[in-house]
Structure 1
Amino acid sequence: MSFHVIRAADVSPQPWKNGMGVTREIARFPARAGSEDFSWRISVAEVNSASPFSTFPGIDRQIVLLDGEGFHMTLDGSSTHALTTPYAPFAFPGEAQVEVAMAGGATRDFNLMVRRAWGSGSVRVLRESGSHVPDPECVLVYVARGTVTTIDGDLEAGDAWLPDCSPFEMAEGSVVLLALAAAG
């Protein structure tokens, strides 16, 4: 078993910071950091009903719809965004007051949070099968759909890999999310 592979089945659910939903934290840096002092954090959240998002002052967030019909986000009472297209990252500030109106049933969403004072982050979506080498700032490879082969073993949808410089192979029809984070 590799310490670089994180299996979906091994990630326990925990309540959102505001208690209004459930998330599964995949990774954070530093590993022993708490909710108030992490540099970056990656999780998969379940949104089951209209509710406010937790606020994270000083944090830049990226959210990606994985499953479900999505939802409509209202930020600070005025700006809106429809998170209804799977695998389309959306960035917003963590201190924004976000209200959600469901477009349908429950959803699952990939989340990258990066502390602004530490650096920056983004989510890049890969859809091309074949061999890929992670960017130097790639901190996590998340299999959103399909299968991926790494030096540490095979991954299925929902699994994640903490990459080194080794390439990985995406099967036809797979979708991978790369979480990128860089200090500075």
Structure 2
Amino acid sequence: MRIIRAADCKVMPWKNGGGTTTEIAVFPEGASLSDFDWRISMAYVGADGPFSSFPGIDRTLCVLTGNGIRLAFGDGEAVMLDRATGPYFFAADRAVDGQLIGGAIDDLNVMSRRGRWQHEVQRFSSQGQQAVAIDSGLVVAFAHQGDWRANGQFLMPGDSAIVDTSPQHSLHLEGRGDLIVVKLAPAS
């Protein structure tokens, strides 16, 4: 298991130049915005505007703080997301504008290159224990708020734990607060 501390995450400008994002993890390591296979990041969204297009990428968005955001897709679909809604999956090459609901938000973005990797995102806002099986690929646990332990190691808010596939490995999570679990696997 590898721990990524919030203080060690890289901050970079958005692809569309409208703000910054905090990169939590990317594969392959050091990949740019145009050649990653998967990427997990956090963004501060302070103004309405278009999302950057990422051809061939699938994306899941999860609101962490703030009142929420309305996603207005170019094909007419509209979706409201806030802290109470589940993670929302969509193709990152669809035209979409974000319209903030009552102020700025922070969000978590998970992106994977279609045909190479796939991802699944779950949010836990509770107290207790959780065991996550790792069938293939890897699991990333992002501790957004509260007190969490991943396989016995303490995670501060903003820290992440990454566990790779192995028959002997699983991820045991214990704590309280807001935790997001991302499963990443090679596309079948």
Alignment of 1:27-106 (within 5 A): 27-76=25-74, 78-86=76-84, 88-106=86-104
1:152, distance to aligned residue in structure 2 (A): 6.8
Query: Normalising to structure 1: TM-score of the pair?
Result: 0.89
Aligned residues: 181
Seen in structure 2, the aligned counterparts of structure 1 residues 85 and 148 have a Cα distance that, compared at 3 Å, is closer
| 1:16-35 paired onto structure 2 within 5 Å | 16-35=14-33
1:138 and 1:118 map into 2 onto residues whose CA distance is: 14
Q: Offset at 1:151? A: 4.0
Note closer, same or farther for the CA distance 1:87–1:175 as it changes in structure 2 (3 Å cut).
farther
Q: Compare the two structures and name the one with the higher strand fraction.
A: 2
Shift of 1:66: 0.6
Q: CA deviation at 1:86?
A: 3.7
* AA at the equivalent of 1:97: A
2:7 counterpart SS class:
helix
Residues 134-178 of structure 1: per-residue CA shift (max 9 Å, x gap)? 43344311012212113472102211111242443322x322211
User: What TM-score, normalized by structure 2, do the two folds share?
Assistant: 0.87
| 2:131 counterpart residue number | 132
Shift of 1:30: 1.1
- Cα distance, 1:4–1:14 mapped onto 2, change above 3 Å: same
Q: Aligned in 2, Cα 1:169/1:88: closer, same or farther, shift over 3 Å?
A: same
* Identical-pair percentage: 33
3-state DSSP of counterpart to 1:13? strand
Please give the alpha-carbon distance, in whole angstroms, between the structure 2 residues aligned to 1:22 and 1:88.
Answer: 24
Structure 1: runs of 5+ lacking an equivalent: none
The CA deviation string for residues 96-151 of structure 1, in whole angstroms up to 9 with x for no partner, is 11111110121110110010020311101234512423433443110122121134
Counterpart secondary structure, 2:141 = strand
The gaps in structure 2 that reach 5 residues or longer are none
Q: How does 1:3-18 map to 2 (within 5 A)?
A: 4-18=2-16
Are 2:174 and 1:170 aligned?
yes
8 Å Cα contact 2:134-2:170 kept in structure 1: no
Aligned CA RMSD, in angstroms, stands at 1.9
**Aligned to 1:69, what secondary structure does the other structure show?**
coil
Equivalent pair of 1:58/1:95 in contact (CA under 8 Å): yes
1:101-112 correspondence to structure 2 within 5 Å: 101-112=99-110
